[in-house]
A and B are shown apart, each in its own frame.
Chain A
């Protein structure tokens, strides 16, 4: 079973992602803030990480920066964020993260992206 970490601070959005991903038979874990996400990524192995940008304690970019400093690969990370500004997308690109989905997501498209990323 593929293991996915969802990093999302909004309760309802977390529930949405969790429900549709568990329904697809993925093993899903939750992190509600940047610090929790960083600690989990550092000590566990995930096949895919769905990362939000605006997060409490530590924002998504800071998480990426800290992971990079620890030489932890970022290749299994996709960003799903409500930040729709071009500069945020450019920042993600600087971390070599190609998949940047803007909220609101189309769930069919989202599931397709997740599946492609895991294959």
Chain B
């Protein structure tokens, strides 16, 4: 019996596992370095401001578009469903919980994973390929402090107001659809929203912002720093950064909701 294919398969699995754990170890050390360099923020405040503009101000349009479209759709679909049960007055309650707890922060996270994460991966990947990151190290500058830490702080600072904006736009578009599509009085909609929202609803939503900021920045930057193999390599590392950070945002969204709701 020929055992060669089985042996080759086992060897391949071993190599992949070894590669995976080595990458995880490198990612952990990279993340640790990014956090340990936070005290240097004063030196890199201009880089922080640049990144805050890129991930904050410049991201407002995409966050608004996604929040308005999902808020409107949610109001239409949920309103249709509630109408069957004669409970259309609960539309404000159901849409506000969905938007504030889940959809507002999740959509913001996914949009920024695509926008901010892609930019990080491509920019840092191009710098890696053209030896600019090696040049920083060669002349005595810590590339993680210069390039990653300001991105991390900017995301931590800017993701919170973006989440608030996403919630606000989502809720108001839902209110607009409730009034103009379902012919629901705005007073009835907002009366079902405000008195019933509990602090834990806001905690669930807003705790996600810093979690997503850390995931998106570190995963995309790490993939940029790991880029190899010319322009194709930059493309690969950028895609990998977006796919992995989007997947982790979805997983983190579930676990943050579960942990906060079970403990509050």
Same complex:
no
Which B residues are within 8 Å of any A CB, using their own CB?
A: none
